[in-house]
């Protein structure tokens, strides 16, 4: 297995919501915790809302919710992508998203 296949993989997802309200933010955070936090191969899971008062010129501010998962391997990530709970999460929540951006990186 190549280093890229066996090294940990960071999966960071940034959600821009169609409705930016405290209730909409709380709902998506709850849904992430319900569907996404207990998959095999997850070493780290966190989800949270944009820090509203951090607005330096370098801060990206065009999202409301950030999801951060570190998988122990590429295979764990790939299995997660097609898992029933992940697919169910997408189907249950995609109508609330204006934009979703995913940043995947191999960790060393």
Q: Give all domains of the chain, ordered by start, each with its CATH number.
A: 3-52+61-101 (3.30.70.100)
Is 86 a residue whose pLDDT tops 50? yes
pLDDT given at position 1: 42
Among 55, 54, 35, 53, residue whose Cα is nearest residue 45: 35
| Percent of the chain predicted with pLDDT > 90 | 94
pLDDT-based confidence at 6, cuts 50/70/90? Answer: confident
| pLDDT single digits (tens) 88-106 | 999 999 999 999 999 999 9
| pLDDT single digits (tens) 15-67 | 999 999 999 999 999 999 999 999 999 999 999 999 999 999 999 999 999 99
Q: What is the dihedral of CA 5, 46, 32, 107, to 10 degrees?
A: -10
What string of DSSP letters covers the chain? --HHHHS-EEEEEEEEESS-SHHHHHHHHHHHHHHHS--TTEEEEEEEE--TT---TT---S-SEEEEEEESSHHHHHHHHTSHHHHHHHHHHGGGEEEEEEEEEE--
């Amino acid at each position: 297995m190549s280093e890229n296949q066996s090294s940990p993989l960071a999966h960071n997802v940034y959600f821009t919501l169609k409705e930016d309200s405290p209730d909409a933010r709380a709902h998506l955070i709850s849904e992430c915790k319900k569907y996404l936090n207990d998959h095999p191969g997850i070493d780290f899971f966190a989800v949270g809302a944009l820090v509203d008062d951090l607005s330096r010129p370098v801060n990206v501010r065009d999202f409301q919710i950030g999801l951060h998962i570190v998988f122990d391997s590429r295979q764990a990530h790939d299995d997660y992508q097609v898992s029933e709970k992940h697919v169910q999460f997408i189907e249950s929540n995609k109508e609330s998203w204006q934009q979703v951006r995913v940043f995947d990186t191999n960790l060393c």
